[in-house]
Chains A and B, each alone.
Chain A
């Protein structure tokens, strides 16, 4: 690990100002992803701003009947919250499908959204990776690409976003609240938080330098059956090959987002119109622009079947 200076932030605004003022600064909360990457020198911040003391660890009702989840709420506590289990089951299920008990106890809501890809070529600094070293190329294209993106990728990057939680939040139409170094605040629809790789895969979100996530809000519950199905190489503690977050109403309408297939949680509202017509119709629209590699084309069939299984489960 490269040496770094360390401070404990005293308020969200101070943390954001400090991040904008320091060279190569990073926020640290749970640290479960950042420290892993710092040990490999994929991340090498010169300054760490510990935000754990900022009291952003509450889950509170919002005036319009939704929930406001503090950025520092741990994954375990979010999954176990009685209101989340009752009204936003897809979110509990997605959280519990990710990582291990130890990691969920540390990992935070904001940190989960901002975690970086687990692409093995991103992790191996002997390999070309436009995300790790812009302009160096992408060793995953033409390499072992079984786990990689099938849709929304580019010639520069075919990495996937690893989060389960973010997929459920995308289906729930969550909103991300932030503060910036100039004292301002804004609300970002989760659909607009993560970027597709394009020519700049190193820029993963629309957050500005120093901008700090303070909370994620969920709109009021929409009812329906909440389902999160994750297909992976092991029964537990593995990243998704394909995952499906679905909220299905009695009449067969609903919403659906997929994980493991793209650089961000993949939701196509036009595909949702096809939900009452079944998995094949939904998958066809979700993957209209898909460009799989020879090694991960199986994900298209797998996704269709996982959607089918989710719809079956919704009827049960």
Chain B
């Protein structure tokens, strides 16, 4: 397992200077936070490491993590699955969306140690450049992105949205709670509202999802 200092000097932080200003920004912030005494507790608790084991994209992974490690950081920094992106790190933007036990979640608002035995699917597990998931193909076809930073989260979310509709889970815009919902444009936009795209590629994202939802699985 990499030590904290190895993490701070990780290959990605050194190489991807321009694209990941968000990720780089977190390192000094985290270091500063650990040196600041705030809150009411006089006696500090020492960092604690815990072992956790879960399945990621079909493979069992065992990790020793600081209890503070989010699922997002475990995926990116420990397992080097950097397809999942860190946007706001507060559950507001959806860039970190992954699918855990068939449900989409914000991986930034979940601790790695709380996923013992879970099955996690990230964008890397949905498809590869050679063999893309139909949702990935549709995003490419419909230009469902510009900068691409929110795209892995958008795609994981979209795949889960189609399953949610199939499972009959209603949404805020579902007219009759007792009739199975259909994936109309209004339904799709409401259900995708937890994924923000600063480039504003929403209409193309909606077209991509509509195409996949309409085609037989």
Contact = CB atoms under 8 A, between A and B. Distances in A.
B114 A5 contact: no
B41 A44 contact: yes
B39 A2 contact: yes
B39 to A, nearest CB: 4
Contacts of A97: 172
B18 to A, nearest CB: 25
Contacts of A24: 41
Given A3-B48, A92-B170, A48 B67 contact: yes
A221 to B, nearest CB: 14
Given A76-B169, A101-B160, A3 B68 contact: yes
Contacts of B70: 35
B110 A100 contact: no
B94 interface: yes
Interface in A1-58: 1-6, 8, 23-24, 28, 31-32, 35-36, 39, 41, 44, 46-48, 50, 52
Contacts of A96: 170-172, 174
A1 B172 contact: no
Output the residue of B38, B161, B177 with the most chain A CB within 10 A. B177
Contacts of B174: 96
Given A5-B67, A102-B94, A31 B111 contact: yes
A4 B33 contact: no
Nearest to B36: A41
B67 A6 contact: yes
B46 interface: yes
B170 A41 contact: no
A108 to B, nearest CB: 12
A178 to B, nearest CB: 22
Contacts of A41: 33, 36, 38-39
Contacts of A86: 177-178
A44 B68 CA distance: 11
Interface string B21-49: 00000000000010010111100111110
Contacts of A76: 103, 164, 169
- Size class of the contact patch on chain A: 35 or more
A79 interface: yes
B81 to A, nearest CB: 18
Contacts of A101: 104, 157, 160-161, 164, 171, 191-194
Interface string B91-119: 10010010000011110011101101000
B106 A125 contact: no
A44 B39 CA distance: 7
B48 A31 contact: no
A44 B174 CA distance: 39
B192 to A, nearest CB: 8
A100 B193 CA distance: 6
Size category of the B interface is: 35 or more
Interface in A88-106: 89, 92-93, 96-97, 99-103, 105-106
Interface in A234-252: 235-237
Contacts of A44: 38-41
Most buried by B among A2, A28, A41: A2
B148 interface: no
A195 interface: no
A100 B172 CA distance: 10
B187 to A, nearest CB: 11
A92 B176 CA distance: 11
A1 B97 CA distance: 21
A238 B188 CA distance: 17
Contacts of B50: 6
Interface of A: 1-6, 8, 23-24, 28, 31-32, 35-36, 39, 41, 44, 46-48, 50, 52, 76, 79-80, 85-86, 89, 92-93, 96-97, 99-103, 105-106, 125, 235-237
6 contacts: A3-B47, A6-B113, A35-B110, A52-B114, A105-B105, A235-B190
Given A35-B110, A89-B177, A101-B194, 16 more contacts: A3-B45, A3-B68, A4-B48, A5-B67, A6-B113, A23-B41, A44-B39, A47-B45, A48-B111, A50-B114, A76-B103, A92-B177, A101-B157, A101-B191, A103-B194, A236-B189
Interface of B: 33, 36, 38-41, 44-48, 50, 66-68, 70, 89-91, 94, 97, 103-106, 109-111, 113-114, 116, 157, 160-161, 164, 167-172, 174, 177-178, 189-195
